Amino acid sequence: MVEKEKVNVLFLTLYPIKNPRHGGQHRANNIVKVYKNEGYIVKHLYATSSADCGAIDITETHLDNDCYIIPEKELEELKYETFVAEVKDHLIGLYLENDIKIKKIIIDIIENNNLKYIDIEQPWFAGVIIKIKVENPELFKGIHIIYGSHNLEYELKENMISDAIHCKREIISDIKNVEMKAAQNADIVLAVSEYEEEKLKKWNKKVILAKNGVANKKVNSYDINFASGLLKKDYFLFIGSAHKPNLDGYIELLGGALGCIPPNMKLVIVGGVNHLINNSPEHIHWNGINKDKCVQFYDVTDSELQSLIEGSSAILLPILSGGGTNLKTAEALVSNKPIIGTTTSFRGFEDYIDSSIKISDDRENFQALIRSFNKNNYSVRKNTSKLYWDACLVNFKNEIKVIR
């Protein structure tokens, strides 16, 4: 009997990806699309904590997309002297590595799904996969492990964790070790930028550049004038998830008060970052000023978001920290709108910086660029065709074709 061709993939994350919202979900979703377009059957397994599962859409969980829930209390009492919320993903990884139930689930998937690839998006599932492989090497015959690095987590967490946390050094060292082992034990490593590519090659020579991209989005006819009743003025647009670096850059560069927004304009803020902003003392203190300067949208559809992008006068990218590359920068570039950003926001996109873009990492200068904004001072942007997902993931697509 001829053995059935192994065209199955086990795809591992710490979040659902069916209806992506933040950058990691969009990246994972588009990598899955590459697998499926090449003929692979993808089984998605993700882990989350009980405290976060309430935010998960129940429609996310179906036959090829299973959710494994970890009791939040278990994470709070795990290893370190204090619970550090900024590294919950790392704590989930430590929990999974020693969890008998998840091992049984993964082994069952391997035994019954004729796998060709195990794709670990971010390093958190790497520990348990490596342990299963060491304990059951025969199961991994013919299986290739792919590690998708979205950024260098140890560098990202270094900036996110307060120096007041006594175990900070230990946590950062542990995370770096997790990332190193994830890369060293993979057959293929996907890097999100040239910077990560260079670093990861110290741990594994088989690194493929797979940059963050954008989808070709369209506006539904009923969303063409989305929110036009509220947005009667020209507006700047800031889009961000509930990711702390988004808040930090916003507060540092725009300040708690939005006095830099010209009288003839507004600031539109879209996404989960609104929750962080509204709970920040700086913003609360100046709420009287900000409520007239700012319009907030907590959750919008892709069509509504695209309508807001197309209707904006300029896009703001006030990012001062964080790893990898900013997917919102790619989206801003393909919009052909003027951009006011930072050095960090254009990390990995330096070749696109021209007179359609203004860069500043200084609060006074950043606010001056906003205050004196004139769209006539910004040129039309150069070609951005290489920023779409198909172009960004072509090296990865070609690689899985070769191996198959």
Dihedral, CA atoms, 283, 287, 289, 293, nearest 10 degrees? 80
Residue 270 near residue 305, CB atoms below 8 Å: yes
Which of the 8 DSSP states describes residue 4?
P
Best mean pLDDT range from 78-92, 245-259, 357-371: 357-371
Q: What is the mean pLDDT of residues 90-103?
A: 96
Which of the 8 DSSP states describes residue 176?
H
Return the bridge partners of 188, or none.
146
Residue 292 tokens read as 């007239």
Is 194 part of any domain? yes
At 56 the pLDDT is 52
Question: Is residue 196 domain-shared with residue 255, that is, in the same domain?
Answer: no
Is 2 part of any domain? no
**Which residues have a Cβ under 8 Å from the Cβ of 375 and sit 6 or more positions away?**
313, 314, 338
Is 354 part of any domain? yes
Q: What is the mean pLDDT of residues 368-390?
A: 89
Q: What is the mean pLDDT of residues 115-138?
A: 97
Per-residue pLDDT band for 141 (boundaries 50, 70, 90) equals: very high
* Host domain of residue 120: 8-213+389-403
Is 43 part of any domain? yes
Question: Is residue 205 domain-shared with residue 271, that is, in the same domain?
Answer: no
**What Rg value do the Cα atoms of the chain yield, rounded?**
22
What are 36-91's pLDDT values in tens digits? 999 999 999 999 998 877 555 544 444 346 899 999 989 988 888 889 989 999 99
Higher pLDDT pick, 283 / 210: 210
pTM above 0.75, yes or no: yes
H or E stretch at 10: strand 8-13
- Distance CA(249)–CA(284), nearest Å, equals 17
Residue 326 near residue 23, CB atoms below 8 Å: yes
Higher pLDDT pick, 59 / 244: 244
Q: Picking from 230-239, 330-339, 389-398, which range would have the lowest pLDDT averaged per residue?
A: 230-239
Identity of residue 285? H
Question: Is residue 360 domain-shared with residue 330, that is, in the same domain?
Answer: yes
Is 285 part of any domain? yes
- Distance CA(70)–CA(53), nearest Å, equals 9
Percentage, residues of the chain above pLDDT 90:
63
Which CATH number characterizes residue 16's domain?
3.40.50.2000
Is 3 part of any domain? no
Cα dihedral 187, 388, 242, 66 sign? negative
At 61 the pLDDT is 45
Residue 279 tokens read as 């709970």
Question: Is residue 31 domain-shared with residue 161, that is, in the same domain?
Answer: yes
Q: List C-alpha distances in Å: 375 to 7, 320, 369.
A: 51, 24, 11
Which of the 8 DSSP states describes residue 307?
H
Question: Is residue 28 domain-shared with residue 156, that is, in the same domain?
Answer: yes
At 340 the pLDDT is 96
At 287 the pLDDT is 83
What are 309-335's pLDDT values in tens digits? 999 999 999 999 866 668 889 999 999
